Structure 1
C-alpha cells in the first residue's frame, strides 16, 4: 500500500531539491496565494512520505486479518486508531500536548511501531473474532434483540419502582448531593438520599434487573448449546 506514496513522494522531493543553480531560490521566491512553490512541494512530500507509518499500520493489520479469513478493513481501522494513540502529540513550549501529530512519527520513524504493533493488534483482533465472538448469524440476531429489549425494560422498571417508593414516602427524595458516576450502588443510594432506605431501593432494583435478564440469558444459553451441537 505504501509503494504508491513512496513513488509520489520521491518525485516531488526530487523536484523540490533538484541540484540546478538557482532552482531552489526560484522555488522559494515564486509565490502562489502567499505560499511559495517550495512550500507546496514540501507539503506534498510530507503528505506522502509523512504518512507512510500510518498507511503501513493499516496495511499490515488489514493483510494479516485477511490471511486469517477475518475482516481486514475492521482490523486496519482498529490499528490505525491504536497507531494514533501510540504516536506522541505535538508539544507546546511548556510541554503541554496540543492538537496535532508530527509528520516525523507518522512517517518513516513510525514504521517500526507500525510493524510490531500492527501484527500484534491484528493477531488480537483475529483471535477475538475466531475464538471469543464465534457466533452464528441467527444467534447474533437474537443476542442483539435481547440486548435492545433489556436496555429498554430494565431502566423503565427501575424508574417506576423509584418513583413509587419516593411518592409513597418509603424512600426520601434526593437531597441534591452530586454523586460521581464511579460511586458503587448501595453507597450512592445512601449518599443521594441520606437514608439507608435509598440503599435498600437500589438493592431491590438490582434484584429486579437480574430477574429481567435471567430468563433471556437462560434461553440464549440453551440456543447456543443447540447451535454448538448442530455444528459438531
Structure 2
C-alpha cells in the first residue's frame, strides 16, 4: 500500500493537480454552477405540478382551474429550462475572469453568439393537423436548456478565447481617460464582439447547407451522443466514480474535477428525465446528476455517512469518538470534509479501500435496483445535494422506493467500512493508551 501511495504521489498527483487547475475545466464547473440555483427553483415548481399522490392533478384542476398544472410549468421554462443559456454566460464569465479580462462583456458576447447559432423556429401542430409545421420567430426553449448545453459550452469557451486573443493583441477601440468606465468597456467590446458574431454567422450559414441543419444537431450527433452514452451507462459511471474517490484520496476535490467533464452529461440526462416526468412519459435515464448526489454520495464523496455512524456509536478511541460527534451534523447534509481530513482518509492505507469501494457498490446496487424496476428512476427534479438522505431519495424519485434505496445503501456502506474501521479504531486506541501510560507514571513519581 505504501508503494501504491508513492507511485500515486509521484505520477498521478501532478497530473491530477494540473487537471484541477486547468482554466477551461474550472470555467465549465463554475459556470454551470451559476445555473444551479435556478435549476433548483424550477425543480420546486416541477414537483408541485407532479406530486406523486392519487387524484392530485384532479384536486389542482378542481381548486385552481383545469389549466393550473400547465401554469405551474411557467417558472420551470424560465428557470430549469434556461440552464444552457445561463451556463453559457457563466462559463464565459468565469473563463474571462481567469484571464483577467472583463467577464461581463465575455458573457454577453457568448450569449449573443449562442442565440445566433440557434434556429429561431418551433415545431407546432395546428388543431386537426397530423404533422407539425415550423413556426419562425420564436426562441426554442428546448435548446435553451439541457439539449443546448453542449453548444452553450463550446460557444462560451470559443467566443471567450477569441475575445481574449483580440484584447491581448490590443485590437480594440480605446476611449480617452475621461470617458466613464462602463462606456469605455462597451467600446472595447465592439471589435471582438463583431468578430465573434461574424464567425458564428458564417458557421451557421455553412451548416445550414449541410444535412445537419444547425450547430445543435452537429454537436448532438458527433459529441453529445458518444459522451452521453459513456456517461449514462453503468461502466462509464463506475469509472467516473472511481476517479472521484481516487482523486480525493490524493487530497484533491475529486467531485469538482470530474464534474467539469461529466457534469454536463449528467445534467443533460436530468433535463431529459424532467421533460419526460412533466409529460408523464417513461423516464429515459438512470444515471443523472441526482443519481450521484442522492444515491451514491451518501454523506459526501466516499459515501462516508456509514463511517460517521461507526465513529459516533462504536468508536473506542477518543479521537474517532470525538470526530463522530463533530462530523454527524455535516454528514447529515452530505458534507464530509471533517471526516476526509479529520480521520484522515487522505493517504490513509486502512480507510482508502472502503472509501473507494463503498460508493462503487452504491453505483452498482442503485443501478441494478432502478434497471430492474424495483426502485423508481430519478425524475429530473434537482434536489439540492445537501438534502438529508431519505428525504432526498423520496424527492429525487417521487417514490418511497427512493428513500428505501438510500437506507439500503447506508447500511451496505456501514458494513463495508466496518472491518477497516475496527482495525483503525483499535490502532488509535492502542496509541492513546501508550501516550496515557507514561504520563501516569510521571504523575505517580
TM-score bracket, normalised by the shorter chain, equals 0.5 to 0.7
**Structure 1, residues 29-60: CA drift from partner, whole Å, max 9, x if none?**
4446xx73211211111111111110001111
Write the distance in 1 (CA, Å) between the matches of 2:102 and 2:85: 19
Distance change in 2, residues 1:136/1:46 (3 Å): closer
Distance 2:178 2:163 in 1: 18
In the alignment of these two chains, the number of paired residues is 139
Do the aligned residues in 1 keep the contact of 2:122 with 2:139 (CA within 8 Å)?
no
State the match for 1:24 in structure 2.
Answer: 57
Matched, 1:101 2:139: yes
1:75 paired residue number:
106
Tell me the TM-score normalized by structure 1: 0.53
Instruction: Give me the whole-angstrom Cα distance separating, in 2, the residues matched to 1:137 and 1:31.
Output: 57
Cα distance in structure 1, aligned partners of 2:134 and 2:70:
28
Change in Cα spacing, 1:95 to 1:17, as seen in structure 2 (3 Å) is closer
Aligned: 1:42 with 2:73: yes
State the distance in 2 between where 1:92 and 1:18 align.
29
Distance 1:27 1:113 in 2: 37
Contact 1:9 1:48 in 2 (8 A): yes
- Secondary structure at the aligned position of 1:132 is classed as coil
Distance in 2 separating the partners of 1:111 and 1:25? 35
Q: Residue 84 and residue 29 in structure 1: after superposition, are their counterparts in 2 closer, same or farther (change >3 A)?
A: farther
The answer to whether the 8 Å contact 1:59/1:76 transfers is yes
* TM-score normalised over the length of structure 2: 0.29
Separation in structure 2 between the aligned mates of residue 28 and residue 84 of structure 1, nearest angstrom = 36
Q: Which runs of 4+ in 1 moved over 6 A?
A: 134-137
Which blocks of at least 5 consecutive residues in structure 2 are unaligned? 1-33, 125-131, 180-445
**Residue equivalent to 1:201:** none
Match for residue 62 of structure 1? Answer: 93
| CA distance 1:95–1:27, change in 2 (3 Å) | same
Is the 1:30–1:36 Cα contact (8 Å) retained in structure 2?
A: no
How far, CA to CA, are the matches of 1:87 and 1:121 in structure 2? 15
The equivalent of 2:121 in structure 1 is 90
Task: Report the aligned-residue RMSD.
Answer: 2.6
Once the 2 structures are TM-superposed, how far is the Cα of residue 100 of structure 1 from its aligned partner?
A: 0.9
